[in-house]
A and B are shown apart, each in its own frame.
Chain A
Amino acid sequence: MPTPVASPGSSARVMHGTSTPYLFLLPYLLIFGVFGLLPIGLGVWLSLHQWDFQLPNKPFTGLDNYTELFTPDSLVYSDWWESVRATAIFTVLSVPLLVALPLGIAMLLNRRFPGRTFFRAVYFAPYVLGVAVVGLLWRFLLDANLGFVNHLFGTHTPWLTATPWAWVSLVGVTVWWTCGFNAVIYLAGLQDIPAELYEASKMDGASAWQRFWHVTLPGLRPVLLFVITTTILASANMFGQSYLITQGAPGNETRTVVSYVVALGIGQNDAGRAAAMSVTLTLMLAVVSIANFRIFRYQEDS
């Protein structure tokens, strides 16, 4: 799936009236238009204002909310870029793990052995927890002085209050929480690779590593693109963990963009600024995602 646009190929030999496609689309498009597109449009409109639910005047401020993000002596400049840095660090650290580790688990679980249904359920289980529970659970377990983890290992590691440990915790908890989700997707992808390819590769005397490199990975490429894309988006959207587990500490060093945007928009009722930051983050993510799609397409071409 090289680009997120319509695939070619369907010759649409199935005949239908000209209005039929629109009738099929209508229910979804109604919801999508009102709750998918309209909020985005409204968000852009808010970003051009100083906007508060209750204040009688909501003055139009043009691009001020955007320019201040790039003006070093503005109120939000340092907080904004600190949060961008936090989101970037978290994404860069978590995505490789969330892409690689579930793949390993999926390959283990792809074998036929007694009890594999049980193990699949076990690895998925943390994902059914809500973020509030995940946050409270790990804040308790990881406490530097009273927590179970340090008690178990006899250490005094500041898991929650000092970097880089806070990053290790946030990434580790997120991997623990969502690993099973990606593993299930990989498992599915693995079923799609024809067994004959492995047989042929074995006949050629390929080692297990070579089979992984030359059969498994190429066969998984479409799934991999899907997983990488959704994982980048999910990691860039992370905020519950940082809000609940580290509370942004030390200082605001682990406060992510979305966490900051929610704090501004909902906590401080500064919806205009929050919206401008949302739009800017979206553009950043779009650039990363397009680059991601490009890289995969080049690989497919070569």
Chain B
Amino acid sequence: MTTFNRRQLLGLGLGAAAAVSLAACGDDDKGPATTGNGGKDYTGPKVTINLWNGFTGGDGDIFKKLVDQFNTEHANIAITVATYKWEDYYAKLPGAVSSGNGPDIAVMHMDMIATFAARKVIQPVDDVASALGLSESDFAATVWKGGLYQSKRYGIPLDMHPVGMYYNKALFQKAGLDPAKPPTNRSEFEATLTALKGAGIQGFWISPFQFTGGMTGYSLVHQFGGALYNADATKATFNSDQAVEAVSWLTKLIADGHSPANVGQDADYLALKSNQNAININGIWQVNDLKKSPDVQWGVAPVPQIGTRKAVWANSHNFTIVQQKTTDANKVAGAKVFINWLSQHSLDWAAGGQVPARNAVRDDPKFKELTEVNTLAAELPDAAFPPAAPGIGDVTNLFYTAFNEAVLGKKAPKQALDDGVAKADKLLEDNRKKYGS
């Protein structure tokens, strides 16, 4: 794990925004109270700011180190962090906010932003973006747009996390394959599986669950030219011919014996680690996990292009500012300073197995040194991020349920996806009524 001291960081020259924040680093806490200037600096009385995240993996420790560093550098801002499992986190956030127990800053996946914005759990942060001169050109375009809801900005992107292809080099060698040359397209991929099968290896275990079979299916639907939704996310389209073709391609691999049936939760990944499964499409976050198992010979590469175009599932963590019952201008100002600071220090965050959202940070040579993470960063131009519509996460779950039924052979792929879309369209309509959009 790479760590940087502050001197190095200051020397990195992280683009225009960095210069702005340097001024904030040496401030004293005697300055007059302000209502905030969009995160450039904060000179008011000491504030304590509560931040919630869902980083329960090794990423939580890295996040905490960054927060400690921030607190040391900012005498008048103290960030306290609370961490919950993501599913618990999203469940408890609305109740916490409505009861006045919510955090000041909430870290959120981009597909949740619209939902929480529509419900007024979080507030616009347009001024952060404008005061810091942030614009679309500083970020990957889809991620930047994902923070918008009804033309207002609610999220400042921290990172991006696509899926990549992990493969077991020992098994590749056993099947006579070159571990330095993982497959990159459909014919190579299928040839790889055939070679593995010849060596008695079921090469590509397909999990029926969202993590990670569902995300593989999601990627392939986009690769085959489909999408989960139409352009404005008003209709579900994951039963299109392309989507059916994508899911059928996966289920056929099971029928052809390239994957066992009934792969359990995490079994695809654990089998990769115990030399039973050769290939697993999994999140970029597993880079750090694999490093904890030194006996495993593994490699990571971009997801091969199976369909007619490149595409991978990806999501992004964003900072949002919570809408309190009574707004404390000092807290909001301090929160914005923190968001800006961490956005610039996202190179350290990359060590947690995430790709920094800022282009400038990704172009930094220090980021290039994070070999594995950097390998997957190459996928991002083709990443298929989820759309920004309120309640969309619940609808996407219907795709994963349909995928589950198809992979487990409960229904034929077309039937499963048709049924899922019928339900999804009803839920989308229900969401429109509920959120009034």
Contact = CB atoms under 8 A, between A and B. Distances in A.
Interface of A: 50, 52-56, 74-75, 78-79, 139, 142-147, 156, 158, 160-162, 247-253, 266-269
Contacts, number: 99
A52 B265 CA distance: 31
B434 A145 contact: no
B391 to A, nearest CB: 8
Contacts of B94: 52-54, 269
Contacts of A146: 264, 267, 270-271, 274, 276
B119 A145 contact: no
The 9 closest A-B pairs by CB, nearest first: A158-B262, A54-B119, A143-B264, A144-B262, A53-B94, A251-B405, A250-B408, A75-B426, A161-B262
Interface residues of B, number: 41
Contacts of B97: 53-54
A85 B180 CA distance: 51
Nearest to A157: B262
Given A144-B261, A269-B119, 14 more contacts: A55-B118, A55-B119, A144-B262, A145-B264, A145-B267, A145-B271, A145-B276, A146-B271, A161-B208, A162-B408, A250-B405, A251-B402, A252-B401, A268-B394
A59 to B, nearest CB: 10
28 contacts: A53-B94, A53-B95, A53-B97, A53-B98, A54-B121, A55-B435, A56-B120, A75-B423, A75-B427, A139-B265, A143-B264, A144-B261, A144-B262, A144-B264, A144-B267, A145-B264, A145-B267, A145-B276, A146-B264, A161-B262, A162-B262, A249-B408, A251-B402, A251-B405, A252-B401, A267-B90, A267-B91, A268-B391
Given A267-B91, A269-B94, A52 B404 contact: no
Contacts of A79: 423
Contact of A144 (B90, B263, B427): B263
Contacts of A252: 401
B63 interface: no
The B interface is mostly helix, strand or loop, or mixed, namely helix
Nearest to B202: A145
Interface string B72-99: 0000000000000001001100110110
Contacts of A78: 423
Nearest to B410: A250
Contacts of B241: none
B61 interface: no
Contacts of B416: 251
Contacts of B319: none
Contacts of B179: none
B52 interface: no
Interface string B119-147: 11100000000000000000000000000
Give the one of A144, A147, A161, A252 with max B CB within 10 A. A161
B430 interface: yes
Interface in B289-326: none
A147 B404 contact: no
Contacts of A142: 264
Nearest to A264: B394
